[in-house]
């Protein structure tokens, strides 16, 4: 068992996953791109290669987006609930936000480049390396902030879940073996979805943190159902997959920064003559693929979050019963002193209806077997 002190230093936590998926993975892709750019000085060939890389990412996230949409749509049709299905308007609104984001980056990097670099004939390899380095530095900054917040939360987790409950989970649910600690923490709940969660102390060593309110207001059986929901997240490798996607976002951010720099070069060199050549077409194609990939990734993450909660509910429901878990979910708004936005309360109702519907489906199947 891991000993968590009242004033602990930064633990191992997610650093194993961060190093592998958030640093090494995007750095390896970035070094490959830089090596190719260094080997081929022709800018057209360089942009063509980068387009191929982006088209691969686009194809992957288009597939993931369509798959997540299809699965969520199936759940929605089961209970006639369509609030969370995507709309074309949402997609285009996100694209518009991306354009404004890139314009902001354009002004920012225009200032930086004019301040640091006066030679506009520098090879694109330098700009690509600058973009990758900037993206990794930004991600490192964000990670430090998140880790500081995480250790502050962990430091409040002084009270362990009762031994009887932990023994029951470990004995009856071997999938929980990766979770070494179950503790109550002073979770500052910004939304209902963050009232409990799992984090890691290394690649295969998880700690489950639960809001202290659950200790006060849930009985042992109800608390086991909540903890098994978190075990469902671990069983489905949701944390590791999240870090893989985070590393991919580092790569996409690198390319977004790069295309902004290329835009500065293109407009500075063609401000008098805007000829459309192969280089310009490849650049426009790169912009389009980056925007589309970012949009598909954003919506995939949104639907993946919904599906992750649904799948974790299904895991817990298979262990404790769907109606029992649905009853607990209905109680959550009264247990957690946090205002719920419309989307949060609607999604909670969606999950409750899905659990009830699963019981109805099982009853229908059993009735058919009896009739046969």
Domain boundaries, the chain: 15-267+300-361
Q: What φ, ψ does residue 344 adopt, rounded to 5°?
A: -70, -45
Check if the beta carbon of residue 79 is closer than 8 Å to that of residue 357: yes
CA angle 231, 236, 239 (to 5 degrees): 85
Check if the beta carbon of residue 12 is closer than 8 Å to that of residue 202: yes
Which pTM does this prediction carry?
0.82
What residues have CB less than 8 Å from 280, skipping those under 6 apart? Answer: 266, 270
Q: What percent of the chain has a predicted confidence (pLDDT) above 70?
A: 76
Average pLDDT of the residues in 118-131: 77
Query: pLDDT tens across 185-213, in order?
Result: 877 655 444 566 777 666 667 888 888 88
What residues have CB less than 8 Å from 137, skipping those under 6 apart? Answer: none
State how far the Cα of 239 lies from the Cα of 199, in Å rounded to an integer.
8
State how far the Cα of 347 lies from the Cα of 307, in Å rounded to an integer.
11
Average pLDDT of the residues in 342-367: 69
pLDDT of residue 30: 92
Out of 110-114, 210-214, 243-247, the most confident range is: 243-247
Check if the beta carbon of residue 326 is closer than 8 Å to that of residue 363: no
From residue 136, alpha-carbon distances to 122, 172, 291 in Å are 22, 43, 20
Query: pLDDT tens across 43-76, in order?
Result: 889 889 999 999 999 999 999 999 998 898 888 8
Average pLDDT of the residues in 4-8: 42
pLDDT of residue 266: 64
Output the 3-class SS for 81-148: CCCCCCCHHHHHHHHHHHHHHHHHHHHHHHHHHHHHCCCCCCCHHHHHHHHHHHHHHHHHHHHHHHHH
Tally of residues, the chain: 372
State how far the Cα of 314 lies from the Cα of 318, in Å rounded to an integer.
6
pLDDT of residue 248: 92
Q: Report residue 85's pLDDT band, with 50, 70 and 90 as the boundaries.
A: low
pLDDT: which is higher, 173 or 372: 173
What residues have CB less than 8 Å from 53, skipping those under 6 apart? Answer: 29, 33
Task: Please give the DSSP secondary-structure letter assigned to residue 7.
Answer: T
pLDDT of residue 360: 63
Residue 226 has pLDDT above 70, yes or no: yes
Tokens of 65: 């987006």
Query: pLDDT tens across 284-293, in order?
Result: 888 888 888 8
State how far the Cα of 316 lies from the Cα of 137, in Å rounded to an integer.
39
Q: Report residue 5's pLDDT band, with 50, 70 and 90 as the boundaries.
A: very low
- Which range, of 40-54, 102-116, 162-176, 226-240, averages the lowest pLDDT? 102-116
| Residue-averaged pLDDT of the chain | 79
């Amino acid at each position: 068992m891991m000993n968590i002190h009242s004033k602990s230093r930064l633990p191992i936590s997610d650093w194993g996953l961060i190093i592998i998926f958030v640093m090494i993975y995007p750095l390896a892709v970035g070094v490959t791109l830089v090596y190719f750019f260094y080997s081929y000085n022709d800018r057209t060939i360089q942009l063509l290669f980068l387009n191929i890389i982006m088209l691969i990412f686009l194809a992957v996230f288009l597939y993931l987006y369509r798959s997540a949409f299809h699965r969520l749509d199936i759940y929605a049709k089961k209970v006639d609930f369509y609030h969370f299905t995507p709309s074309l308007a949402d997609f285009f609104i996100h694209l518009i936000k991306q354009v404004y984001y890139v314009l902001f980056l354009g002004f920012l990097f225009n200032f930086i480049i004019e301040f640091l670099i006066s030679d506009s004939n520098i090879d694109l390899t330098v700009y690509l390396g600058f973009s990758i380095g900037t993206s990794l530095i930004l991600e490192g900054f964000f990670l430090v902030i998140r880790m500081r917040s995480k250790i502050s939360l962990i430091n409040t987790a002084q009270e362990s879940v009762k031994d009887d409950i932990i023994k029951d989970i470990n004995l009856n649910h071997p999938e929980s073996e990766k979770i070494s600690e179950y503790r109550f923490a002073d979770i500052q709940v910004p939304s209902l979805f963050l009232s409990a969660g799992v984090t890691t102390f290394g690649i295969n060593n998880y700690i489950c943190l639960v809001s202290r309110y659950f200790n006060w207001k849930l009985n042992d059986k109800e608390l086991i159902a909540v903890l098994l929901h978190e075990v469902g997240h671990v069983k489905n490798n949701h944390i590791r997959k999240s870090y893989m996607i985070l590393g991919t976002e580092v790569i996409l951010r690198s390319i977004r920064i790069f295309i902004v720099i290329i835009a500065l070069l293109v407009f500075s060199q063609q401000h008098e003559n805007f000829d459309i050549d192969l280089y310009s077409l490849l650049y426009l194609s790169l912009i389009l693929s980056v925007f589309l990939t970012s949009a598909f990734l954003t919506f995939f993450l949104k639907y993946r979050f919904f599906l992750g909660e649904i799948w974790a509910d299904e895991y817990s429901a298979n262990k404790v019963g769907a109606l029992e878990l649905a009853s607990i979910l209905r109680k959550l708004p009264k247990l957690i002193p946090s205002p719920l936005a419309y989307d949060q309360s609607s999604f909670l109702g969606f999950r409750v209806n899905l659990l009830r519907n699963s019981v109805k489906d099982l009853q229908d199947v059993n009735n058919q077997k009896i009739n046969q």
